[in-house]
Amino acid sequence: MSELHKFLFEGLPVRGMLVRLTDSWQEVLRRREAAGDYPPPVRELLGEMAAAATLMQANIKFNGSLILQVMGDGPVKLAVAEARPDLSFRTTAKVIGDVAEDARVEAMLNLHGKGRCAITLDPADRLPGQQPYQGVVPLHDDQGLPLQNVSEVLEHYMLQSEQLDTRLVLAANGEVAAGLLIQRLPTKGEGNLEGERRGTTPWGSGDEDQIGQSEAFNRIAHLAATLTREELLTLDADTILRRLFWEETVRRFEPLTPSFGCSCSRERVRNMLTGLGREESESILEERGDIEIACDFCGQQYHFDAVDVGEMFTPGRDQPPASASLQ
């Protein structure tokens, strides 16, 4: 069963989380296989992003979706992982070219230095006029050198956008997607969207002048960095935490249960078709006989025949909705 463990280091301004997505990640892969599998490096990329998005969602008090995106100019145009407050997640990618078996972030997304990472917080209960919070960073470090791993990208994001020291260890294969997050606790601000409304970032103030200065964080982060990919993928949470932090006093909380979940629905697809308009929808019908749309995230197929399309555009239903999107 998939699990997420939160913990604190007693007396130190450091917190941590460990996630292991097992059955939930296998469900993602099973659904994707039915629609055509991704190349192994893309599968691994999405698994690491799913683990990271789940960790980051669990790290903030926020009623809405956290959407992690990496986009660029390589054979992978876009990769997305979304996590919601109940820790349900979904993920997808748009692959437009051949991906080498040993491809990493640069080769997949940042061939010509145009790659970007974006994190969006989309509130479920937006206030009037409120826009989603979004932070964007390039896929290279402060010296302009390309970053090769999702963990490096997100550590760079947290420093640049949130001014928080963060250490991430991520790994994924065909069975497990896992991640360990260690973070220096901010000493002021609010670690949620309310803080953003008051002018701080969603993670709160990271105390820029404290970056790299916490001996406690540096020590714990160094221990976390010794965790190997194989250990992260094969060992249970108790064993990992005991091996890494046996000299520390760790206070753990009740584990949470992430799960696969998709928010697509027939009604959302109907709204999208209504947004296309009668002429475009009927043109597709004339060409193909019916309209078949698959969700990019979960693979669910939605079918609409001539009767369905005619019903969409009966009087009183001609106006497209304000937002016509599967997302």
pLDDT score at 76:
93
Nearest residue to 51 via CA among 136, 149, 145: 149
Reported residue count of the chain is: 327
CA distance 76 to 98: 9
Q: Is 145 helix (H, G, I), strand (E, B) or coil?
A: coil
Q: What is the pTM of this model?
A: 0.81
Burial category of 287 from C-beta neighbours within 10 Å (exposed 0-12, middle 13-18, buried 19 and up): exposed
Check residue 139 and report its DSSP letter: S
- Separation in Å, CA 149 to CA 51, 97, 198, 277: 14, 20, 33, 42
Cβ partners under 8 Å of residue 30, min gap 6: none
Contact of 72 with 115, CB cutoff 8 Å: yes
Low-confidence ranges of the chain (pLDDT < 50): 189-200, 317-327
- State the amino acid at position 89 in one-letter form: F
Q: Which two tokens stand for residue 305?
A: 């025949």
